[in-house]
Amino acid sequence: MNQVHLNEEQFQDYAITGIADPGVMQHVAGCARCQMQIKAYQTLYSYIREAETPTLDFKTDDLIPERLPAINKEDSEEAWYLYGFLFGTVALLVAGLIGFWGTIRWVFMDITPFAIIIGLLLLSGILMTQSLEMYRNYQKKLTALNRKEIAT
Amino acid sequence: MDGDRHAAALLVRRTEKLVAQIVFKMLGNHPDRKDLTQDIYLKTFRYLPRFRFQCKLSTWVAQISYTTCLDHLQKYRPELTTISAGEELLLSNTCAQEIAGDIPDASQLLSIKERSVILEKLSTTLPPVYRTLITLFHKEELSVEEIRDITGLPVGTVKNYLFRARKVLKESLLNHYSKEDL
Ligand SMILES: [Zn+2]
Protein backbone atom coordinates (compact mmCIF):
# COMPACT_ATOMS: atom_id res chain seq x y z
CA MET A 1 0.00 0.00 0.00
CA ASN A 2 1.08 3.56 -0.77
CA GLN A 3 2.03 4.88 2.68
CA VAL A 4 1.66 8.59 1.95
CA HIS A 5 -1.57 10.11 3.24
CA LEU A 6 -3.57 12.27 0.87
CA ASN A 7 -3.15 16.02 1.17
CA GLU A 8 -6.03 18.39 1.89
CA GLU A 9 -6.60 19.23 -1.75
CA GLN A 10 -6.79 15.56 -2.65
CA PHE A 11 -9.33 14.98 0.14
CA GLN A 12 -11.49 17.78 -1.22
CA ASP A 13 -11.26 16.64 -4.83
CA TYR A 14 -11.80 12.98 -3.98
CA ALA A 15 -14.90 13.87 -1.97
CA ILE A 16 -16.29 15.76 -4.96
CA THR A 17 -15.42 13.40 -7.79
CA GLY A 18 -14.96 10.06 -6.06
CA ILE A 19 -12.07 9.32 -8.39
CA ALA A 20 -8.29 9.47 -8.03
CA ASP A 21 -5.15 7.71 -9.25
CA PRO A 22 -5.19 3.93 -8.66
CA GLY A 23 -2.37 4.30 -6.09
CA VAL A 24 -4.38 6.91 -4.18
CA MET A 25 -7.55 4.81 -4.32
CA GLN A 26 -5.62 1.85 -2.99
CA HIS A 27 -4.25 3.91 -0.12
CA VAL A 28 -7.68 5.26 0.79
CA ALA A 29 -9.13 1.76 0.80
CA GLY A 30 -6.71 0.75 3.53
CA CYS A 31 -6.35 3.99 5.54
CA ALA A 32 -8.91 4.87 8.19
CA ARG A 33 -7.48 8.37 8.68
CA CYS A 34 -7.88 9.35 5.04
CA GLN A 35 -11.30 7.70 4.90
CA MET A 36 -12.45 9.81 7.82
CA GLN A 37 -11.26 13.02 6.18
CA ILE A 38 -12.99 12.17 2.91
CA LYS A 39 -16.15 11.23 4.75
CA ALA A 40 -16.05 14.55 6.57
CA TYR A 41 -15.84 16.42 3.28
CA GLN A 42 -18.60 14.31 1.73
CA THR A 43 -20.82 14.99 4.72
CA LEU A 44 -20.04 18.70 4.49
CA TYR A 45 -20.85 18.84 0.78
CA SER A 46 -24.15 17.06 1.32
CA TYR A 47 -25.04 19.45 4.15
CA ILE A 48 -24.40 22.42 1.88
CA ARG A 49 -26.27 20.88 -1.05
CA GLU A 50 -29.30 20.04 1.02
CA ALA A 51 -29.33 23.20 3.12
CA GLU A 52 -32.58 25.11 3.02
CA THR A 53 -32.57 27.98 0.55
CA PRO A 54 -33.24 31.21 2.43
CA THR A 55 -36.36 32.98 1.32
CA LEU A 56 -36.90 36.70 1.24
CA ASP A 57 -39.47 37.53 3.87
CA PHE A 58 -41.20 40.15 1.76
CA LYS A 59 -43.34 40.16 -1.34
CA THR A 60 -41.87 39.98 -4.83
CA ASP A 61 -44.01 42.98 -5.82
CA ASP A 62 -42.16 45.08 -3.27
CA LEU A 63 -39.03 44.60 -5.34
CA ILE A 64 -40.42 46.08 -8.54
CA PRO A 65 -39.98 49.84 -8.63
CA GLU A 66 -43.04 52.01 -9.27
CA ARG A 67 -41.58 53.86 -12.26
CA LEU A 68 -40.37 50.86 -14.19
CA PRO A 69 -40.32 52.01 -17.85
CA ALA A 70 -39.07 55.49 -16.99
CA ILE A 71 -36.17 54.02 -15.04
CA ASN A 72 -35.30 51.85 -18.01
CA LYS A 73 -35.08 54.78 -20.37
CA GLU A 74 -33.77 57.63 -18.33
CA ASP A 75 -30.44 56.09 -17.51
CA SER A 76 -29.44 54.61 -20.80
CA GLU A 77 -26.31 56.72 -21.14
CA GLU A 78 -25.32 55.38 -24.51
CA ALA A 79 -28.68 56.32 -25.99
CA TRP A 80 -28.30 59.81 -24.56
CA TYR A 81 -24.83 60.17 -26.08
CA LEU A 82 -26.27 59.13 -29.43
CA TYR A 83 -29.13 61.59 -29.15
CA GLY A 84 -26.73 64.31 -28.07
CA PHE A 85 -24.54 63.64 -31.07
CA LEU A 86 -27.48 63.61 -33.50
CA PHE A 87 -28.99 66.76 -32.01
CA GLY A 88 -25.61 68.51 -32.08
CA THR A 89 -25.09 67.62 -35.72
CA VAL A 90 -28.54 68.86 -36.72
CA ALA A 91 -28.04 72.06 -34.70
CA LEU A 92 -24.67 72.70 -36.37
CA LEU A 93 -26.18 72.17 -39.83
CA VAL A 94 -29.04 74.53 -39.12
CA ALA A 95 -26.67 77.14 -37.66
CA GLY A 96 -24.43 76.79 -40.73
CA LEU A 97 -27.41 77.20 -43.06
CA ILE A 98 -28.57 80.33 -41.28
CA GLY A 99 -25.08 81.80 -40.97
CA PHE A 100 -24.11 81.24 -44.58
CA TRP A 101 -27.53 81.58 -46.11
CA GLY A 102 -26.39 84.45 -48.32
CA THR A 103 -23.59 82.39 -49.89
CA ILE A 104 -25.33 79.06 -50.28
CA ARG A 105 -28.91 80.04 -50.98
CA TRP A 106 -28.39 79.37 -54.70
CA VAL A 107 -28.14 75.63 -53.86
CA PHE A 108 -31.74 75.67 -52.67
CA MET A 109 -33.15 77.95 -55.31
CA ASP A 110 -33.67 75.16 -57.82
CA ILE A 111 -35.10 72.58 -55.40
CA THR A 112 -38.72 71.85 -56.19
CA PRO A 113 -41.35 71.49 -53.45
CA PHE A 114 -41.59 67.84 -54.47
CA ALA A 115 -37.91 67.27 -53.55
CA ILE A 116 -38.47 68.97 -50.20
CA ILE A 117 -41.40 66.64 -49.45
CA ILE A 118 -39.28 63.60 -50.43
CA GLY A 119 -36.49 64.84 -48.15
CA LEU A 120 -38.84 65.32 -45.22
CA LEU A 121 -40.34 61.86 -45.76
CA LEU A 122 -36.88 60.29 -45.82
CA LEU A 123 -35.89 62.07 -42.62
CA SER A 124 -39.01 60.99 -40.74
CA GLY A 125 -38.51 57.46 -42.07
CA ILE A 126 -34.99 57.34 -40.61
CA LEU A 127 -36.21 58.69 -37.27
CA MET A 128 -39.03 56.14 -37.10
CA THR A 129 -36.70 53.23 -37.92
CA GLN A 130 -34.35 54.42 -35.20
CA SER A 131 -37.08 54.57 -32.56
CA LEU A 132 -38.43 51.18 -33.62
CA GLU A 133 -34.94 49.71 -33.33
CA MET A 134 -34.58 51.03 -29.76
CA TYR A 135 -37.98 49.67 -28.81
CA ARG A 136 -37.11 46.25 -30.26
CA ASN A 137 -33.83 46.15 -28.33
CA TYR A 138 -35.68 46.87 -25.14
CA GLN A 139 -38.25 44.16 -25.88
CA LYS A 140 -35.46 41.70 -26.71
CA LYS A 141 -33.97 42.16 -23.28
CA LEU A 142 -37.28 41.52 -21.59
CA THR A 143 -37.97 38.49 -23.78
CA ALA A 144 -34.66 37.07 -22.62
CA LEU A 145 -36.31 36.54 -19.27
CA ASN A 146 -38.24 33.67 -20.76
CA ARG A 147 -35.11 31.85 -21.78
CA LYS A 148 -34.15 28.65 -20.07
CA GLU A 149 -30.67 29.90 -19.32
CA ILE A 150 -31.99 31.84 -16.35
CA ALA A 151 -31.45 29.99 -13.12
CA THR A 152 -34.72 28.83 -11.71
CA MET B 1 -46.83 49.18 -19.01
CA ASP B 2 -48.48 46.01 -17.68
CA GLY B 3 -46.32 43.93 -19.98
CA ASP B 4 -43.20 45.51 -18.49
CA ARG B 5 -44.39 44.87 -14.94
CA HIS B 6 -45.15 41.29 -15.86
CA ALA B 7 -41.67 40.82 -17.34
CA ALA B 8 -40.15 42.51 -14.30
CA ALA B 9 -42.07 40.21 -11.94
CA LEU B 10 -40.84 37.25 -13.99
CA LEU B 11 -37.25 38.45 -13.68
CA VAL B 12 -37.61 38.79 -9.92
CA ARG B 13 -39.20 35.36 -9.53
CA ARG B 14 -36.53 33.69 -11.64
CA THR B 15 -33.64 35.28 -9.79
CA GLU B 16 -34.88 35.89 -6.24
CA LYS B 17 -33.57 32.59 -4.85
CA LEU B 18 -30.06 33.26 -6.07
CA VAL B 19 -30.27 36.86 -4.88
CA ALA B 20 -31.55 35.68 -1.48
CA GLN B 21 -28.63 33.23 -1.19
CA ILE B 22 -26.10 35.97 -1.86
CA VAL B 23 -27.78 38.53 0.39
CA PHE B 24 -28.13 36.07 3.29
CA LYS B 25 -24.60 34.72 2.94
CA MET B 26 -23.06 38.16 2.64
CA LEU B 27 -25.09 39.93 5.30
CA GLY B 28 -26.65 37.25 7.48
CA ASN B 29 -29.81 38.27 9.25
CA HIS B 30 -29.15 41.94 8.71
CA PRO B 31 -31.95 44.47 9.31
CA ASP B 32 -31.08 46.29 6.06
CA ARG B 33 -31.70 43.15 4.04
CA LYS B 34 -34.96 44.32 2.51
CA ASP B 35 -33.60 47.73 1.54
CA LEU B 36 -30.55 46.13 -0.03
CA THR B 37 -32.60 43.63 -2.00
CA GLN B 38 -34.79 46.44 -3.28
CA ASP B 39 -31.66 48.34 -4.17
CA ILE B 40 -30.36 45.31 -6.09
CA TYR B 41 -33.49 45.08 -8.23
CA LEU B 42 -33.65 48.82 -8.69
CA LYS B 43 -30.14 48.67 -10.16
CA THR B 44 -31.10 45.61 -12.21
CA PHE B 45 -34.02 47.37 -13.88
CA ARG B 46 -32.11 50.60 -14.28
CA TYR B 47 -29.15 48.96 -15.98
CA LEU B 48 -31.14 46.39 -17.95
CA PRO B 49 -30.77 48.44 -21.16
CA ARG B 50 -26.99 48.08 -20.80
CA PHE B 51 -27.12 44.31 -20.42
CA ARG B 52 -25.24 42.93 -23.42
CA PHE B 53 -25.90 39.17 -23.15
CA GLN B 54 -22.20 38.43 -22.54
CA CYS B 55 -23.31 36.21 -19.67
CA LYS B 56 -26.52 34.70 -18.39
CA LEU B 57 -29.02 37.20 -17.06
CA SER B 58 -29.01 35.38 -13.71
CA THR B 59 -25.22 35.73 -13.49
CA TRP B 60 -25.58 39.42 -14.19
CA VAL B 61 -28.22 39.88 -11.47
CA ALA B 62 -26.02 37.85 -9.11
CA GLN B 63 -23.11 40.15 -9.95
CA ILE B 64 -25.20 43.19 -9.02
CA SER B 65 -26.27 41.45 -5.79
CA TYR B 66 -22.71 40.58 -4.82
CA THR B 67 -21.29 44.05 -5.48
CA THR B 68 -24.18 45.76 -3.71
CA CYS B 69 -23.68 43.59 -0.61
CA LEU B 70 -19.91 43.96 -0.74
CA ASP B 71 -20.20 47.75 -0.98
CA HIS B 72 -22.54 47.71 2.00
CA LEU B 73 -20.14 45.57 4.04
CA GLN B 74 -17.15 47.68 3.09
CA LYS B 75 -19.03 50.73 4.26
CA TYR B 76 -20.42 49.42 7.55
CA ARG B 77 -18.40 46.30 8.43
CA PRO B 78 -15.08 46.65 6.58
CA GLU B 79 -13.39 44.21 8.96
CA LEU B 80 -15.53 41.43 7.46
CA THR B 81 -14.30 42.01 3.95
CA THR B 82 -10.56 42.09 4.44
CA ILE B 83 -8.96 38.77 3.64
CA SER B 84 -5.19 38.94 3.57
CA ALA B 85 -3.34 36.65 1.20
CA GLY B 86 -1.63 34.43 3.72
CA GLU B 87 -4.30 34.54 6.36
CA GLU B 88 -5.20 31.24 7.93
CA LEU B 89 -8.71 30.87 9.16
CA LEU B 90 -8.16 29.37 12.55
CA LEU B 91 -10.65 27.62 14.71
CA SER B 92 -11.01 28.66 18.28
CA ASN B 93 -10.71 25.06 19.38
CA THR B 94 -7.76 22.75 19.22
CA CYS B 95 -7.04 21.13 15.92
CA ALA B 96 -10.17 19.21 15.19
CA GLN B 97 -8.38 16.76 12.99
CA GLU B 98 -6.56 15.19 15.89
CA ILE B 99 -9.41 14.90 18.35
CA ALA B 100 -12.32 14.14 16.11
CA GLY B 101 -14.13 10.91 16.37
CA ASP B 102 -16.22 9.39 13.61
CA ILE B 103 -18.99 11.41 12.08
CA PRO B 104 -21.93 9.44 13.39
CA ASP B 105 -23.90 7.74 10.67
CA ALA B 106 -26.90 8.98 12.60
CA SER B 107 -26.16 12.34 10.96
CA GLN B 108 -27.71 10.82 7.86
CA LEU B 109 -30.96 10.62 9.77
CA LEU B 110 -31.02 14.29 10.67
CA SER B 111 -33.68 16.32 8.97
CA ILE B 112 -32.70 18.91 6.38
CA LYS B 113 -33.70 21.57 8.87
CA GLU B 114 -31.35 20.14 11.52
CA ARG B 115 -28.51 19.87 9.04
CA SER B 116 -29.11 23.45 7.93
CA VAL B 117 -28.87 24.60 11.54
CA ILE B 118 -25.60 22.72 12.05
CA LEU B 119 -24.16 24.13 8.83
CA GLU B 120 -25.25 27.63 9.79
CA LYS B 121 -23.48 27.21 13.13
CA LEU B 122 -20.31 25.95 11.45
CA SER B 123 -20.34 28.80 8.94
CA THR B 124 -20.34 31.56 11.54
CA THR B 125 -16.53 31.55 11.64
CA LEU B 126 -16.28 32.17 7.91
CA PRO B 127 -15.98 35.63 6.36
CA PRO B 128 -19.06 36.55 4.26
CA VAL B 129 -17.19 36.25 0.96
CA TYR B 130 -16.16 32.66 1.77
CA ARG B 131 -19.70 31.74 2.81
CA THR B 132 -21.03 33.14 -0.45
CA LEU B 133 -18.48 31.35 -2.61
CA ILE B 134 -19.13 28.02 -0.91
CA THR B 135 -22.87 28.39 -1.45
CA LEU B 136 -22.54 29.44 -5.07
CA PHE B 137 -20.27 26.50 -5.85
CA HIS B 138 -21.72 23.65 -3.80
CA LYS B 139 -25.36 24.66 -3.45
CA GLU B 140 -26.11 26.65 -6.60
CA GLU B 141 -23.67 24.45 -8.54
CA LEU B 142 -22.12 27.36 -10.40
CA SER B 143 -18.77 26.88 -12.09
CA VAL B 144 -15.61 28.64 -10.92
CA GLU B 145 -15.82 30.78 -14.07
CA GLU B 146 -19.37 31.85 -13.29
CA ILE B 147 -18.31 32.72 -9.75
CA ARG B 148 -15.44 34.74 -11.23
CA ASP B 149 -17.98 36.66 -13.35
CA ILE B 150 -20.18 37.32 -10.33
CA THR B 151 -17.49 38.32 -7.85
CA GLY B 152 -14.87 39.78 -10.15
CA LEU B 153 -12.25 37.68 -8.34
CA PRO B 154 -9.66 35.87 -10.47
CA VAL B 155 -10.25 32.13 -10.98
CA GLY B 156 -7.16 31.31 -8.87
CA THR B 157 -8.48 33.38 -5.98
CA VAL B 158 -11.92 31.78 -6.22
CA LYS B 159 -10.32 28.32 -6.06
CA ASN B 160 -8.06 29.35 -3.19
CA TYR B 161 -10.95 30.80 -1.16
CA LEU B 162 -13.06 27.72 -1.82
CA PHE B 163 -10.21 25.49 -0.66
CA ARG B 164 -9.71 27.43 2.56
CA ALA B 165 -13.42 27.72 3.29
CA ARG B 166 -13.99 23.98 2.79
CA LYS B 167 -11.06 23.18 5.07
CA VAL B 168 -12.38 25.37 7.86
CA LEU B 169 -15.89 23.99 7.52
CA LYS B 170 -14.65 20.42 7.46
CA GLU B 171 -12.63 20.95 10.62
CA SER B 172 -15.59 22.63 12.28
CA LEU B 173 -17.74 19.68 11.29
CA LEU B 174 -15.30 17.17 12.77
CA ASN B 175 -15.10 19.31 15.86
CA HIS B 176 -18.86 19.48 16.14
CA TYR B 177 -19.29 15.74 15.98
CA SER B 178 -16.42 14.96 18.30
CA LYS B 179 -17.98 17.27 20.87
CA GLU B 180 -21.37 15.67 20.44
CA ASP B 181 -19.80 12.28 20.92
CA LEU B 182 -18.06 13.24 24.14
ZN1 LIG C 1 -3.99 7.86 4.67
Q: Do A51 and B116 touch (CB under 8 A)?
A: yes
* Residue among B42, B48, B173 whose CB faces A141 most closely: B48
Same domain? For A65 and A12 the reply is no
pLDDT digits (tens, 9 = 90+) for B13-52: 899 999 999 999 999 878 888 889 999 999 998 888 777 7
Number of domains in chain B: 2
The crossing angle, in degrees rounded to 10, of helices B144-151 and B155-181 is: 110
Domain that holds residue A19: 8-50
Same domain, A70 and A44: no
* Same-domain check for residues B172 and B104: yes
Which domain does B101 fall in, by range? Answer: 85-176
Ligand 1 centre from B98 Cα, in Å?
14
Residue A1 lies in a domain: no
> Quick check: A150 and B56 CB within 8 A?
yes
My answer on whether A45 and A99 are in the same domain is no
Whether residues B58 and B109 fall in one domain: no
* Residue A3 placed within a domain: no
The whole-number pLDDT of residue B101 equals 52
B91 lies in the same domain as B171: yes
Which residue does chain B place closest to A33, by CA atoms? B97
Chain B residues touching A57 at Cβ < 8 A: 34
> CB neighbours of A141 closer than 8 A, spacing ≥ 6?
B48, B49, B51
The CA-CA-CA angle for residues B18, B21, B25, to 5°, reads 150
Is B181 part of a structural domain of the chain? no
Residues A74 and A138 in one domain: yes
Asked if the structure places residue B182 within a domain, the reply is: no
User: Quick one: pLDDT band at residue B104, thresholds 50, 70, 90?
Assistant: low
- ipTM surpasses 0.90: no
| Pairs of residues, one from chain A and one from chain B, whose beta carbons lie less than 8 Å apart | 153
Query: Using one digit for the tens of pLDDT, what is the confidence trace for B139-180?
Result: 999 999 999 999 999 999 999 999 999 999 999 998 888 766
| A145 shares a domain with A92 | yes
pLDDT of residue B155: 97
Q: Residue B45's domain is classified under what CATH number?
A: 1.10.1740.10
d(CA A83, CA A134): 12
What pTM did the predictor assign?
A: 0.69
Instruction: Please tell me whether residues B63 and B95 are part of one structural domain.
Output: no
Query: Which of B60-63's residues contact partners 24+ apart within 8 Å by CB, and which partners?
Result: B61/B11, B61/B15, B61/B18, B61/B19, B62/B15, B62/B18, B62/B19, B62/B22, B62/B136, B62/B150, B63/B149, B63/B150, B63/B151, B63/B152
Of B23, B51, B76, the last residue of a domain is B76
